[in-house]
Structure 1
């Protein structure tokens, strides 16, 4: 299938100006979830006054992580992310995770260079959501994005038993009872992020082929492209029984402590060649987009965050997959039936118009006779 570009440049410039112009409290949230953090030591638009300018964070230098708290106080909080995770034995077995619509192929998938990461969004009639696994409620999917390193020994934000991985993907969700992300970030359980590590494989991961191909078309900040759709389950490990769970924060400013973190123990695969494609992207400042991960944060009172365990009910899992696929088929059939009805209405209107025209012609002919 051919790749179709989305003209995101105008929208990116508009949102970039909003980063400078709107209030400091709102700016970081927009960047975290719309631009996912964006700019790196970039000069403000020439037409802004000194009062309009807000701190523009990056991953290094005088605007790097060690300076974030000077401008975003939450970044110096007691429950920050990412952290070191440990393999202590699970204390309890929770109800199994339930992933709804994760296995349904979306209508479209869009990949965007946000200026500090690559973000994937999906358009589909039924939004994926997750519950179970000791999550307190259902959480709806918003977007996913990646963190990676300048080489294959670094890149992940979290570490496990002092091991850092070359890439980590974050699947961002908001709690459905809050209705939207803007409201959800006001509550400490507002967001749920699923983190999955990648390890290097000798062979390419075929499931990532469409994404990797699309990266070549979004090397510059603000560029976006629509690629061959794939289900969200592409970014879930096959085994999801063991995971790490803790209360933490966004890993980019404003660092709101509103995230229920789930980091799965099992990993996904990516080849060195595929991972290298991420490093061809550019930060907003034009530098190569690498090492876009925040340093580890103090554990504070969250001592020894270790493994949790959810029941793995294989038959139930297969039933969920079957159910959501059937629901998707039903929705598709309903849309097809609606389209047929609309087409029939259109044809009926045309026929009525034709009959009325014939009648009018007949009346005119009768007058002449």
Structure 2
């Protein structure tokens, strides 16, 4: 066999192996919304604690869940980094700011790592809220401080806690989100970066009431690791349709506009959902 022919066979084999590995363990550049969402492999397909879910208030456990403690959520900061990661946009939070959550269903401090959005729909749904025209879900991703990096945290069942905030369509704009979303034209394309200059507190992004539902679930994007304590606020915030339109201009890693980036709801199986009335 000639060296040239052997090289072609070897390259073909390696490419096939890489494709299979990507299929089993999707990476950021190997998946997209929305048509590919049901093709995600690995835990995304086989897991039994997947997210998001549909929450039916009549079936939740109304236990004595502690109120959530917010640390440094009230302090105003600026110069947050806004990034297009090829699947949407996210606000990166410097861990040195020590913006954290504790209590509620959590046994430790969890530090805020990033904030991102899912639009033109929501990932989680709550029975009885359909008439409010829910159009946006915001996720505040926190890392358990006993792990040094987000990557390390993702390898442990108690590694991640995510606050979920649902938004309904309103005639008036959301003034705090406007400070962020007005910069969307600067991050329309993948890997573009800009900075939010106007100061605001993370607390201003949350609904007035901090009553919440909580359950054990997963990341809603590949690799869909089942390491997330979800805390979904019961209160619904508001956002204007034009602000959603700004997000809809964002392009993915293929250069296509992301009209929606919401994953479908997954079976609950035998998991329990708890309610804190605050």
Q: TM-score, normalised by structure 1?
A: 0.64
1:79 to 49, 59, 77: 49
The corresponding residue for 1:113 is 84
User: What is the DSSP-based 3-state SS (H/G/I as helix, E as strand, rest coil) of the residue aligned with 2:195?
Assistant: strand
Whole-angstrom distance in 2 between the partners of 1:193 and 1:279: 23
Whole-angstrom distance in 2 between the partners of 1:122 and 1:186: 21
Alpha-carbon offset, residue 93 of structure 1: 2.8
Whole-angstrom distance in 2 between the partners of 1:253 and 1:174: 17
The corresponding residue for 1:132 is 103
When residues 260 and 82 of structure 1 are mapped into structure 2, their CA distance, relative to the original with a 3 A threshold, is same
The corresponding residue for 2:125 is 159
Alpha-carbon offset, residue 244 of structure 1: 1.2
The corresponding residue for 2:239 is 270
Q: What stretches of structure 1 of length at least 5 have no aligned partner?
A: 1-19, 32-36, 40-55, 150-154, 312-369
Q: TM-score, normalised by structure 2?
A: 0.84
The corresponding residue for 1:341 is none
User: What is the DSSP-based 3-state SS (H/G/I as helix, E as strand, rest coil) of the residue aligned with 1:217?
Assistant: helix
Alpha-carbon offset, residue 118 of structure 1: 0.8
- 1:89-131 CA-to-partner distances (Å, cap 9, x unmatched) read 6522322211111111225211111111110013374320100
User: What is the DSSP-based 3-state SS (H/G/I as helix, E as strand, rest coil) of the residue aligned with 1:277?
Assistant: helix
Matches within 5 A, 1:58-77: 58-61=32-35, 64-69=36-41, 72-77=42-47
Whole-angstrom distance in 2 between the partners of 1:135 and 1:125: 21
Whole-angstrom distance in 1 between the partners of 2:153 and 2:177: 30
How many residues align structurally? 255
Alpha-carbon offset, residue 146 of structure 1: 0.4
Whose helix proportion is higher, 1 or 2? Answer: 1
Whole-angstrom distance in 1 between the partners of 2:37 and 2:187: 26
User: What is the DSSP-based 3-state SS (H/G/I as helix, E as strand, rest coil) of the residue aligned with 2:178?
Assistant: helix
Whole-angstrom distance in 2 between the partners of 1:127 and 1:214: 25
> RMSD across aligned C-alpha pairs, in angstroms?
2.4
Q: What stretches of structure 2 of length at least 5 have no aligned partner?
A: 1-17
In the alignment, is residue 309 of structure 1 matched against residue 271 of structure 2? Answer: no
- 1:121-171 CA-to-partner distances (Å, cap 9, x unmatched) read 13374320100112121111100100012xxxxx21011117372110000
Whose strand proportion is higher, 1 or 2? Answer: 2
When residues 95 and 214 of structure 1 are mapped into structure 2, their CA distance, relative to the original with a 3 A threshold, is same
Larger radius of gyration: 1
The corresponding residue for 1:257 is 226
Whole-angstrom distance in 2 between the partners of 1:236 and 1:66: 30
**Greater relative contact order, per chain length (Cα 8 Å cut-off, separation 6+):** 2
The corresponding residue for 1:123 is 94
Alpha-carbon offset, residue 220 of structure 1: 0.6
